[in-house]
Amino acid sequence: MRIQEASSPWNHHSLPHRTSARCQPKPPTALRLSMPRNAPHTPGRPMVAALRCVRLVITCLLIVQLAGCAGLRQWVRNGYKVGPSYSRPAAAFEADWVGDDTERIDSSPAQTKRWWTIFGDPVLDDLIEKAHRQNLDLRTTGARIIEARAQRSIAVGGLFPQSQGLTGAYAYGQIDNCRFLPLLPHDLSAWATGLQASWEPDFWGRYRRTIESYDANLTAAVEGYRDALVLLLADVAANYITLRTYEQRIAWASRNVNIQQGSLQLAEIRFAKGAATAIDSHQARANLAQTQAMLAPLEIGRRQTCHQLCILLGIPPSDLAARLGKGTIPRPPLSVAVGVPSDLLCRRPDVRQAEREAAAQCARIGVAKADYYPRVALTGFTGFVGYAPNDLQSLVDSSSLVALALPNFQWNLLNYGRIASNVQVQDARFQQSSLQYRQTVLTAAREVEDGLVAYVQSQHQARYLQEGVAATEQAVKLVIVQFKGGATDFNRVYTTQGALVTQQDQLAVAHGNIAINLVQIFRALGGGWDSFSPPADQSQAGPIPDAIAAETAAAETITADDLGLPVDVTPTGGPRPAEAESIPPPQDLPAVESAPPLTVSALEEPDGPIALP
C-alpha cells in the first residue's frame, strides 16, 4: 500500500514556474490508503505467507527443542505429547487371606451382587431399595458426575479455535498543528468490523493432556458414586441389624423384669410369714431396679438408630417402629465366599477411584511441561476497514474488504524458574496420588481381614454365650424352686438372675455382631454397586438421571489382564456356596415377633422422590 498526498503550498519547489488553473495549490486534505494500481490481485497470498511462516516456526522449534534423538522419539511415542506416559502404580497384596478357618472362609469368587439378600429379610430388602432411590448424599455424588462430564467437554473445546467472535471498533482523534509533522491531517477517523479467530495448534499436547486429565476425573467421579453406593448399602444394613439387636435386648430385659418382679413378690411373702429376713426383699428390689435401669439406655440406642436410618432413607427423623414392625435379628450363614486379595483391585470403587486420580495428576505433569516450549498460534481476521470519517457507503464497499492471517508465537524464556517449579509441584502431587493409591489398597485388605476375623470370632463367642445362657436358665429355675421350699436363701436367686440378664444381653449383641461383621466384609469387598440398573422410565429415576447411570455402566473397568494378574483371580460369576446352618437363638427364650414385609410406599416422601434436573 502507499500514501497519496494532495499538493500543498509548502511543496512549491516541486511545482513548475508557470502554473495553470488545474495545478493551483490546494489546501491539505486527509490521508487516504489505497492499493497500488500495478499490484497483482492474489486472493490467497496472505494465507500462503502465513502457512510458510508457520512451517518455518515449526521447523525451528523441532530443531531447537527436540535436538536430542531420544527426546524426539519420546515425543513421537507419546502421540506427539510432552510429559510422562501414565502407568498404574504397583500395589502390594498377599496371595491369600490370613484367616485359616476354611470352614467359614471360602476362597471361591465372592458373590457381592445384591449381597443383602443372603439374610432372607424382606424388610431389609425394601429399606435398601428405598435408600438407593432417596438418599441425598448419593444424589450429591451423582451430580458430581454431571460436573465432571461438563468439565471434560470444556477441555475438548480447547482443540478448536480458542477465541472467535464478531468484533467492531471505531476511533476518532484530532491533532494540533505541528511543524515537525506538517503533512498529518487535523482529524483522524478509523473503523473496523468483521470476524476474528485465533487458534493455537496442540503441538506439545497441552490440550490433549488436559483432556486426559478430565477423562480420568470423570471416571474417578463415577467410581466415587459407586463407592458412595457401597457405603450406603452397608450403612443401611448395619443400622437395620443394630435396630433389631436393640429390640431383642429390650425384649429380653423386659422379660427378666417380669421374672424378677415375681421373685420380689415371693421374697416379700416369705418375709411377711417370717420365713425369710428383710435382706431377701431388699436384694430382690435392688436386682429388679438394676434390670429396669437397663431399659432406658437401650431405648435411647434404639431411637437414635431409627433416626440414623431415617437420614439414610432421605426422610425426616422419626420412630420407625410402627412402620417396620417387629422382627428378629437377621441370621447370616456360617460361611462366606470372599475370593482372593487381588480381587479388590478390580472390584473396590475407592481403590479404582484413587488409581484414576493418580492418572489425572500424571496428565497434569504434561500440561505443566508444555510451558517449556513456545506457543504457536494463528490469528485470522476478515471484515471491512475504513478511514473516511463520514463515508458510511464504504462500509459495504469491496475496496474496504480485508482478510488477514497472522502467525505468532509466545515463548516464556525469562520465567525465573517458575515453569520448572510448577513441573515439580505437579510431579510431587502425582507422587502423593500414587502413594495414596497404594495406601488405599492396603487399607482395603486390612478392612477385609478385620471383617473376617470379627465374623469368625463372633460366631465362637455366640456359641459359648448360648451354652452359658441355657445353663443359667436352668439354674434360675432350680434356685427359685429351692427358695420357695426354704432350702436356700435369696442370695443365690439374686446371683443367678443377675447373671442371666447379663448373659442374655451379651448373646443378643453377639448375634447382632455376626450379621454386622458379615456386612462389614461385603463393604470391604466393595459389593453392591453393580446391583442396580438404570430404570426404563425416567419418571422412576433414582438418585442420578439415566445419562449418568449409563456413564457409570460405560466407565473403564479394571481387569486382571490390566493388572498383570492370572486370569483365575478375576471375579467371575458362579453358584453361591452352600449356606451353613445359622446359629439359632436359645430355644426356651421367646423370640421377638416377626413382621410382614415393609412396602416401599410406607416410607415415601410426601412429594415423592427428588429428581436431579
Contacts of 609 (CB under 8 A, 6+ apart): 133, 134, 314, 542
- The answer to whether 612 and 545 have CB atoms below 8 angstroms apart is yes
Q: What is the DSSP letter of 80?
A: S
pLDDT, residue 181, reads 60
pLDDT at 200 over 90: no
For residue 403, give the 3-state DSSP assignment: strand
pLDDT at 299 over 90: yes
pLDDT at 574 over 70: no
- Grid cell listed for 413: 524464556
pLDDT, residue 38, reads 42
Q: Which among 208, 264, 193 has a CA at the least distance from the CA of 78?
A: 208
Least confidently predicted of 237-251, 362-376, 477-491, 534-548: 534-548
pLDDT average, residue stretch 57-61: 56
Homologous superfamily of the 1-8+28-65+163-199+375-410 domain (CATH): Outer membrane efflux proteins (OEP) (2.20.200.10)
Q: Which among 587, 497, 475, 585 has a CA at the least distance from the CA of 258?
A: 497
pLDDT at 527 over 70: yes
Contacts of 590 (CB under 8 A, 6+ apart): 251, 255
Q: What is the mean pLDDT of the chain?
A: 76
- In 248-371, the DSSP E strands lie at 336-337
pLDDT average, residue stretch 202-208: 87
- Grid cell listed for 38: 500495478
pLDDT at 599 over 50: no
pLDDT, residue 257, reads 93
Q: At residue 202, what are phi and psi to the nearest 5 degrees?
A: -85, 70
pLDDT band per the 50, 70, 90 thresholds, residue 334: confident
Q: Distance between CA 217 and CA 214 in Å, rounded? A: 5
Q: Distance between CA 483 and CA 263 in Å, rounded? A: 10
Dihedral class, residue 379 (left if φ above 0, else alpha if ψ from -120 to 50, else beta): beta
**CATH 2.20.200.10 in the chain, residues?**
1-8+28-65+163-199+375-410
Give bridge partners of residue 32 from the DSSP assignment. 4
- In 82-211, the DSSP E strands lie at 105-106, 163-174, 187-199
pLDDT at 243 over 60: yes
Q: What is the DSSP letter of 294?
A: T
Q: Distance between CA 218 and CA 145 in Å, rounded? A: 6
Q: Distance between CA 150 and CA 138 in Å, rounded? A: 19
Higher pLDDT, 611 or 207: 207
Q: Distance between CA 146 and CA 152 in Å, rounded? A: 10
Q: What is the largest CA-CA distance in the chain?
A: 162
Contacts of 558 (CB under 8 A, 6+ apart): 345, 346, 352, 355
- Position 224, amino acid: G
Least confidently predicted of 35-49, 156-170, 197-211, 509-523: 35-49
pLDDT, residue 52, reads 64
Cell 429355675, residue? Answer: 477
Q: What is the DSSP letter of 568?
A: G
Q: CA of 562: how far to CAs of 139, 222, 265, 348, in Å?
A: 31, 19, 74, 15
Q: Distance between CA 285 and CA 388 in Å, rounded? A: 111
pLDDT, residue 180, reads 59
Q: At residue 427, what are phi and psi to the nearest 5 degrees?
A: -65, -40
Strands 187-199 and 336-337: unpaired
Cβ atoms < 10 Å from Cβ of 91: 21
3-state secondary structure 576-596: CCCCCCCCCCCCCCCCCCCCC
Q: Which fold has domain 107-160+205-373+417-464+503-561?
A: Outer membrane efflux proteins (OEP) (1.20.1600)
